[in-house]
Amino acid sequence: MAHLGKRRICLVTPGHLSTNPRLVKEADALAAAGYEVSVVSARFIHWADEADDEFSSRPWRVRKVTFGPIAGRAKRVAQSLRRRVCLLAYKHFGRCAVLAFHPVIPALTRAACATSADLYIAHNLAALPAAFRAAKKHGAKLGFDAEDYHSGEFNVTPENALPLRLTREIERRYLPRCDYLTAASPGISKAYAEAYVVQEPTVILNVFPKAEAPAGPTPKGTAQPSPSLYWFSQTIGSNRGLETVVEAISLSRSRPTFFLRGNPSPGYREQLTALAEKYGVGDRLGFLPPAPPGEMVRLAAEFDVGIASEPGHSLNNRLALSNKMFTYILAGIPTLASDTTAQSEMALKMAGAAFVCPQRDARGLAAKMDDLLLSPHALASARQAAWEYGQHRFNWEAEQRSLLQVIESILH
């Protein structure tokens, strides 16, 4: 929709701002480039809702919609009932795909349509129908950022048949209608281009601003007890490769303490602790509370080595690059990564700072731990290499140029 003055961009997400640092970086970059930026987001987790207050002073407007646990009882029941009915309609008749996909879509759609913009950018697949409707209403452009290969999140099993079919329906229906696509890894980009009739998405790595990095490299971490390993996520739970790390600690000579930051899923802290006790390393676990996205790089710098233990349990898990490797590299700490397709390829670009080990190979992981943690020189050298990669290549100042070029070409 043509107009005088600043070009307006609306980013849409079904998640919290505090759990989507990629969207926050994008909003900041677009605002700094002179665009008028609005964000439509959801709220459904109490701790994340409080953490979202961090962004109240950002130079962009936020419109929030509520669903799930934070919603009032009547709204929550209505949302759940509507989705169940629509799931049945889709299962048996192929109807109501959008309403069946996610309970927040109707509210996101209303909020996005109420926000006038020249470009709507969907983050996460549940935001795409809402952004499409808003773009159609306002005669605007439509973009989609693929942080994951969503249909690749499901293994082909009978119980996954319906959600997989539904996910592919949303992808098939809306991705070809986008004016541009971006992706968080080369593997995700190629997978989407091969699966649908779309141009290969531009890769925008999930790196972070240099302002979050330490002032300079350090020879070792400061966390105690040392030596230390570090891992973080929104949720500490199964299917993250953590059990292999615990076993590796028991097989190592360095016997590091393994610090985990995030919210443990119900019962998982006790489960992992019991496993550690079984291996004789019950005193080598440290659980840390969640922290704001803007603090994650600084906090990571306190530890000796970062862990990126993706188990490759799905196609998406093998193709995606989580924000862990890029958080560690900017923090100036080396990474021990499992050999998923994406992480193996990225480690080649971080030679000397990222080290790959076969998935579920506890003995091999223990040996790589010891190579770093028993040699002060090797650890200091890897930390120096990581810090330099973060400063000169893997940072948001460098990566955002590709994003801004895409946006410029679409709007101008």
**379 plus 240 within the same structural domain:** yes
Q: What pLDDT, on the 0 to 100 scale, is given for residue 5?
A: 65
Q: What is the number of other CB atoms lying within 10 angstroms of the CB of residue 133? A: 19
Q: Are strands 354-357 and 335-338 parallel, antiparallel or unpaired?
A: parallel
**47 plus 89 within the same structural domain:** yes
**329 plus 405 within the same structural domain:** no
Least confident of 60-74, 349-363, 382-396: 60-74
Assigned domain for 3 exists: no
CA angle 11/9/295 to nearest 5° reads 50
**160 plus 306 within the same structural domain:** no
The answer to whether residue 31 scores a pLDDT higher than 60 is: yes
Q: What are phi and psi of 145, to 5 degrees?
A: -105, 115
Q: Is 408 exposed, middle or buried (CB count within 10 Å of its CB: 0-12, 13-18, 19+)?
A: exposed
Confidence band, pLDDT 50/70/90 cuts, at residue 292:
confident
- Total domain count, the chain: 2
**18 plus 86 within the same structural domain:** yes
Assigned domain for 43 exists: yes
User: Three-class SS of residue 320?
Assistant: coil
Domain that holds residue 250: 210-392
Assigned domain for 257 exists: yes
Q: At what angle do helices 324-331 and 376-392 cross, to 10 degrees?
A: 100
**55 plus 201 within the same structural domain:** yes
Q: What percent of the chain has pLDDT over 90?
A: 92
Q: What pLDDT, on the 0 to 100 scale, is given for residue 322?
A: 86
Q: Which CATH number is 291's domain given? A: 3.40.50.2000
Assigned domain for 62 exists: yes
Q: What pLDDT, on the 0 to 100 scale, is given for residue 2?
A: 40
Query: What is the average pLDDT across 57-62?
Result: 95
Residues 124, 101: Cα–Cα separation, whole Å:
12
Query: What is the average pLDDT across 147-152?
Result: 97
**27 plus 101 within the same structural domain:** yes
The answer to whether residue 73 scores a pLDDT higher than 50 is: yes
Confidence band, pLDDT 50/70/90 cuts, at residue 59:
very high
More confident position, 293 or 17: 17
**236 plus 169 within the same structural domain:** no
β-strand partners of 257:
228
Q: What are phi and psi of 149, to 5 degrees?
A: -95, 95
**215 plus 161 within the same structural domain:** no
Q: Which residue has the tokens 């309970």?
A: 103
With 0.75 as the threshold, say if the pTM is over it.
yes
The answer to whether residue 3 scores a pLDDT higher than 80 is: no
Q: What are phi and psi of 103, to 5 degrees?
A: -70, -15
Contact criterion met (CB below 8 Å) for 39 and 117? no
Question: How does pLDDT run across 169-227, given as a tens digit for each residue?
Answer: 999 999 999 999 999 999 999 999 999 989 999 999 999 999 999 999 999 999 999 99
Respond yes or no on whether the N-terminal peptide bond of residue 106 is cis (omega within 30° of 0): no
**81 plus 95 within the same structural domain:** yes
The answer to whether residue 161 scores a pLDDT higher than 50 is: yes
**235 plus 266 within the same structural domain:** yes
Q: What is the number of other CB atoms lying within 10 angstroms of the CB of residue 54? A: 15
Assigned domain for 1 exists: no
Assigned domain for 2 exists: no
Query: What is the average pLDDT across 381-407?
Result: 97
Residues 406, 397: Cα–Cα separation, whole Å:
15
Q: What are phi and psi of 298, to 5 degrees?
A: -60, -40
**272 plus 314 within the same structural domain:** yes
Assigned domain for 345 exists: yes
Assigned domain for 125 exists: yes
